[in-house]
Amino acid sequence: MRRLRAQVASFDRPARLLMVNQFAINLGFYMLMPYLADHLAHGLGLAAWAVGLVLGVRNFSQQGMFLVGGTLADRYGCKPMILTGCALRSVAFGLLAVASSLPALVAASALTGLAGALFNPAVRAYLAADAGEERRVAAFAAFNVFYQAGILVGPLAGLALLAWDFSAVCALAALIFGALAVLQARALPPRPPAGRGTEPAWKAVAADWRTVAANRPFVLFAAAMSGSYVLAFQVYLALPLHARALFGRQAGPVTAVVFAASALAALAGQLKLTAWAQRTLSGPQAVSWGLAVMGAAFLPLLPPAYGAPAGVGALTGCAVLLAWGGALLYPFEMDTVVRLSGDRLVATYYGAYNTASGVVVSLGNLAVGALFDTGVRWLPWAVLAATGLGCAGLVARLHRAGHLRERPVAVPG
């Protein structure tokens, strides 16, 4: 804890504010979202297809709009997008507190996703610029500690409030985002965007998007890294499915232990792993090692688990290794995106990166579900392990070929 306090204190006020902001964002989000499906199905009595629609709209509106949110941040400034995103999410969660009809729920879900698409690329671009080239990795390492802390505390806070009412969870989450908007409006210094010239906005945006699409090293890196997001998501998909298969109706507490172990491992290991990697590895090497660890995380699940201790141990070991692998690569991954952007259109690059990873996660989850449906117990874990190791090999190959070095980015005419 002393190391975290010292590291956070070494940054300027805007960076410190964005770190606390991310904790509060995840606190508000995760106190509500893990319990939304149950509220829709049992609290409001919606059919399963309607529950899927509401949740799918949120995911689609966020992942599909990341690129737009990043573009808006580059054109109009990061601070306006951060404030707008927080305010929109406050409205969305307030609407979820009172909505009972499907159209209102879909609208609230869409606003929730749009809000995330607005503030996520803007926060990361602002933090990267404020920390500077020399301290970006350290800034993103500390940022991820706050990020994971919100994931850990949020569900616990939501669970405590559920004893009262789901509307109370929504109301408090809305209040948190509203307070964030007010706090950052007052305390976050503006960071004006670079001059945009006199050409029409649609032409400028099209040129920006062509610049991103033409940046071959960035596209290759995004493709190689997409597997990491599929692997990380399995804490919410494959591991709960496996827990259910092993423990039946008793899977709930086991899944809670797995979630807690994942968050605690990331919190405890982030700064130590980053410091070690900065001493011993280059950025691309740290990313490759992190991907390899994430792939290896699924190896303990390959042998059949006999008995409760072995099953819980394998699930927990997988979650911990996934968290450590993600913690190892994350700061260097974020730094690499900035380097490949040539320090230009950073929010747009982050938006494009998140949109691409979101699409791959959706397709990857369909594939993982299909692998479970085959009934071959070892197959999903073998494929997931191979995915991590394969992505690690791709990043290492890009590094050896010189694609991950910072370079000027050509702007297509």
Q: What is the pTM of this model?
A: 0.88
pLDDT of residue 233: 85
Band (387; pLDDT cuts 50, 70, 90) = very high
Average pLDDT score over residue span 216-236? 92
Band (42; pLDDT cuts 50, 70, 90) = confident
**Residue in the structure block whose two tokens are 């941040």:** 73
CA distances from 338 to 71, 348, 412 (A): 15, 10, 19
Residue 413: pLDDT over 50: no
**Out of 29-43, 96-110, 195-209, 328-342, least confident range:** 195-209
Band (202; pLDDT cuts 50, 70, 90) = low
Residue 177: pLDDT over 60: yes
The percent of residues in the chain predicted with pLDDT above 70, rounded, is 95
Band (16; pLDDT cuts 50, 70, 90) = very high
Band (409; pLDDT cuts 50, 70, 90) = very low
Residue 197: pLDDT over 80: no
Band (214; pLDDT cuts 50, 70, 90) = very high
pLDDT of residue 362: 82
Residue 88: pLDDT over 60: yes
The percent of residues in the chain predicted with pLDDT above 90, rounded, is 55
Euclidean distance between CA atoms 71 and 335, whole angstroms: 19
CB proximity list for 314: less than 8 A, separation 6 or greater: 300, 301, 305
pLDDT of residue 181: 94
Phi-psi region at 345: left, alpha or beta (left = phi > 0; alpha = psi -120 to 50): left
CB proximity list for 84: less than 8 A, separation 6 or greater: 115, 118, 119
Domains of the chain: 1-193 (1.20.1250.20), 200-413 (1.20.1250.20)
Band (307; pLDDT cuts 50, 70, 90) = low
**Residue in the structure block whose two tokens are 């879900």:** 109
With 0-12 CB in 10 A as exposed, 13-18 as middle and 19+ as buried, what is 393? middle
Q: Collapsing DSSP states into helix, strand and coil, what is residue 334?
A: helix
pLDDT of residue 125: 94
